[in-house]
């Protein structure tokens, strides 16, 4: 969608044309009418403005990432029948291993450690 009319773009997004025009005006883009064209650059500027307005910065990255893995394996367990002890059978049992790993940014860990040190120093100063 390189260049589209504002009316068509509002239909694609699923909002009213008036609301889209208000958002474009709030974003500081040139005032347009419903029949004017909107470029990709204007669309990205509008998206960035709306993200900042709703509390999501463009540079926001997660501080921690948690990976969860689940691995299924089968093991064979010998089963001895009570009346036939000489013959051993095996039974297959499904085993599920769940592994969780959390990775944190070093800058976040350093900030948390600095806060703890400051709190400990404040507690010692009060004593």
Task: Give the whole-angstrom CA distance, residue 51 versus residue 49.
Answer: 5
What pLDDT is attached to residue 51? 85
What pLDDT is attached to residue 76? 93
What pLDDT is attached to residue 1? 52
What pLDDT is attached to residue 53? 83
| pTM over 0.85, yes/no | no
Stretches in the chain below the pLDDT threshold 50: 58
Structure tokens at 122: 């404040």
Task: Give the whole-angstrom CA distance, residue 6 versus residue 102.
Answer: 44
């Amino acid at each position: 969608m390189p260049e589209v009319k504002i009316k068509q773009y509002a239909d694609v997004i699923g909002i009213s044309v008036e609301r889209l025009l208000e958002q474009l005006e709030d974003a500081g883009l040139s005032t347009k009418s419903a029949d004017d064209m909107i470029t990709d650059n204007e669309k990205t500027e509008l998206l960035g403005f709306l993200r900042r307005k709703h509390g999501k910065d463009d540079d926001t990255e997660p501080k921690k990432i948690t990976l969860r893995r689940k691995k299924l394996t089968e093991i064979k367990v010998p089963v001895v029948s009570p009346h036939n002890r000489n013959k051993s059978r095996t039974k297959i049992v499904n085993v599920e291993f769940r592994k969780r790993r959390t990775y944190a940014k070093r800058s976040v860990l350093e900030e948390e450690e600095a806060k703890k040190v400051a709190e400990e120093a404040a507690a010692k100063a009060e004593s």
